[in-house]
Amino acid sequence: MNAIITASELAGDLAGENPPVVLDVRWQLSTAKAAGEPPFDGRAAYESGHVPGAVYVDLDRDLAGSAGAAGRHPLPDLGEFGAAMRRAGVFSARPVVVYDGGQGWAAARAWWLLRWTGHPDVRVLDGGLPSWQGELSVDVPARVEGDFAPVPGATGLLDADGAAALARNGVLFDARAGERYRGEVEPIDRVGGHIPGAVSAPTNDNVGRDGRFLAPEDLRDRFKALGASDGTEVGVYCGSGVSGAHEVLALAVAGIPAALYVGSWSQWSSDPSRPVAVGPDPQ
């Protein structure tokens, strides 16, 4: 099954006999702004216009646990996650399409969580809401309780020790911007740098200027050039397990399975006992 869907394909599916549940997961990373601007309000963006029938899902509340020692966006309690998905109308036997404002990170986080917990048919709208050519709606659909019950997968998830081991024995991609990987800047976490052995692979390089993914063959070539050869075990981390999910999605588009270290750099760097590498060299 393809992990992404085009806007025209989504429009056709919505008009079909078994339309997908559509989740709007608009979100932006909150950082302090010198101008004193208010933080991004995903619900307000949703209420101002969304794909008809879409249901809003809050990344910080529904797709992550409370920030702490496990990172800024740790795994949510699976009972609470399942309840949130059922409130959003997610059924185990009904397709799901997820979109965000175009960056793709938040939608990928929802895609990864649903896939990892057993949903068989989840896709991300390639290019997000800006790619949608149809009318937008301001109507909030009537609540329909779903039946999805999350069951965590046996694979696809890394902890800190697993990420460290994969950086030695497989390939561990760092999806953050190159300057954060190199430790030149660190606007959020305690210290800059990367997990020793990790390879810099900024997730922004997986998409074109329109925010849509590169062709599968181009993504495959990119990742293979970075070390993801046939038979190599692959993992990804980022700052807090959000943009890293987008890289896992890009790898899926390329046909390369990968695990996600959800705690990512926000967890790793908060532990003074964990080694930190700086500069362009993985080690």
To the nearest 10 degrees (0 to 180), the angle between helices 216-225 and 243-253 is 110
Catalytic pick among 238, 249, 254, 258: 238
Under DSSP, the state recorded for 38 is: P
Under DSSP, the state recorded for 171 is: E
17: Cβ contacts below 8 Å, ≥ 6 apart? none
Q: Chain centroid to CA 73: how far?
A: 11
Token couple for 189: 């976490």
CA-CA distance, 173 to 207, in Å (whole number)?
Answer: 16
Phi-psi region of 96 (alpha: psi -120 to 50; beta: other; left: phi over 0): beta
Single-letter code of the amino acid located at 252? A
CA-CA distance, 27 to 99, in Å (whole number)?
Answer: 10
Query: Which regions of the chain does DSSP assign to beta strands (E)?
Result: 4-5, 21-24, 55-56, 96-99, 122-125, 157-158, 171-174, 199-200, 234-237, 259-261
CA-CA distance, 167 to 145, in Å (whole number)?
Answer: 42
Token couple for 144: 């329909």
CA-CA distance, 199 to 171, in Å (whole number)?
Answer: 7
CA-CA distance, 12 to 217, in Å (whole number)?
Answer: 26
Three-state DSSP state, 217: helix
Is 238 tagged catalytic?
yes
Catalytic residues: 238
